[in-house]
Amino acid sequence: MKPTATLGSSVLWYRSHMTQTLSIGDLGRRTSCKVQTIRWYEEVGLLPHPARTEGGHRVYGNEHLARLDFIRHARELGFPLEAVRALLALSDRPDRPCEEAHALASAQLALVEQKLRRLDALRTELTRMTDACSGGVAAECRILETLADHSHGHCTSPHHGGLDNGRLNHGDLNHGDLNPGDLNPGDLNHGTWDAIRSRPGTRGPG
């Protein structure tokens, strides 16, 4: 009797039972995943630690390939680290009901819809600002005037639906949710970058 696929499809079952070995570079190329990110997934327990050669080099198999593809797809859809961990646990137990997977996906959908509302508000505000600017000199620029008005009196909404949401705040991050190796300091608000780098268990690649 054919074993049950742990990741929910016969294609993944076939891939995970073919005999092959991969170096960490091969695994990265096959999954379009950075080597340091693969190591980080191992550190946080999403990806099993591989066997080692006598020379100490990592040796991966199809189980790692299928699991890393799953992780990458979930992350591309925006699932946070702990949600990915829960989804992996469910996929490893195909006999369990899928209510938890549905709840996790529904929560992620609600978050995306919230972000879309904020982005829509930002678009409205930026459109209004650019439409109000008719050119001329900087002293008469409505865009600069609006940005200089810290009371937000020129704005249609004091919060714009997304004040400070163009960048990540420290409070927006869950412990261990981000790999600092994948972050750009320019994407973060002041102080958040150093806070992430200093978190135990959230080390950058090394």
Helix, strand or coil, per DSSP, at residue 156: coil
| pTM over the 0.85 mark | no
Contact, 155 vs 121, CB < 8 A? no
pLDDT averages per 10-residue partition of the chain, 206 residues: 46 52 94 94 94 90 94 95 95 92 96 95 90 84 85 64 46 46 46 48 44
Topology adopted by domain 10-91: Multidrug-efflux Transporter Regulator; Chain: A; Domain 2 (1.10.1660)
Contact, 99 vs 78, CB < 8 A? no
CA–CA separation, 124 and 156 (whole Å): 9
Q: What does the pLDDT read at residue 109?
A: 96
> Residue 118: which of 80, 157, 76, 172 has the closest Cα?
157
User: ∠ CA(90), CA(92), CA(95), 5° rounding?
Assistant: 70
Q: What does the pLDDT read at residue 206?
A: 35
Q: What does the pLDDT read at residue 176?
A: 43
